[in-house]
Amino acid sequence: MKKYLILALLLTLGFALRAQSTDPFVTKCVLNAGADAKYLKDFRIQLGKAAAQGELRYRANMSLWKNTKYRFTMCSTDDSKGQLILSIKDDANKIILSSFDKKTGKTYSFVDFVCNKSGIYQLNYDFSGGEQGSGVGVVSMVK
């Protein structure tokens, strides 16, 4: 009986491991988050050129917890016309964090965020200047 149970466990584990992402681009971006970061989720983004600049085009909701430090890492493929940028909005639709500094025009490849209030936050991604591109946004928890 034990033999069959162990065999079933090994088969299940094998299928589960095979289902994991083997995308080297995502893996590289996860590693860019740093040794002190624990991977939580990734968002793969592929957008064409925007007709007009305005709101960031890719939106996803994510639950964040109070007193937790998060790291948001953005990676763009080499053939992207712009850099992947992120803004985070709270439940009042107010931007609380952005990887693009409008005053200096600088785009950061990662930003850290200490959550002050548990809740659902909106993650908004786009490519700088509304350009076309492909990339990945990685969310990690910092130890």
CATH of the domain at 48: 2.60.120.380
- Using DSSP, state whether 16 is helix, strand or coil: helix
Range of the domain at 123: 22-142
The total of other beta-carbon atoms located within 10 Å of residue 139's CB is: 21
pLDDT given at position 18: 39
Is residue 6, in this structure, part of any structural domain at all? no
- pTM comes to 0.82
**Each residue's pLDDT tens digit, 10-68:** 444 444 333 345 789 999 999 999 999 999 999 999 999 998 878 899 999 999 999 99
Query: Structural domain tally of the chain?
Result: 1
Output the CA torsion 6→11→16→17 (10° steps): 90
pLDDT given at position 14: 43
Is residue 86, in this structure, part of any structural domain at all? yes
**Each residue's pLDDT tens digit, 65-105:** 999 999 999 999 999 999 999 999 999 999 999 999 999 99
Is residue 14, in this structure, part of any structural domain at all? no
Is residue 2, in this structure, part of any structural domain at all? no
Is residue 68, in this structure, part of any structural domain at all? yes
pLDDT given at position 10: 42
* Dihedral angle sign, alpha carbons of residues 98, 136, 19, 6: negative
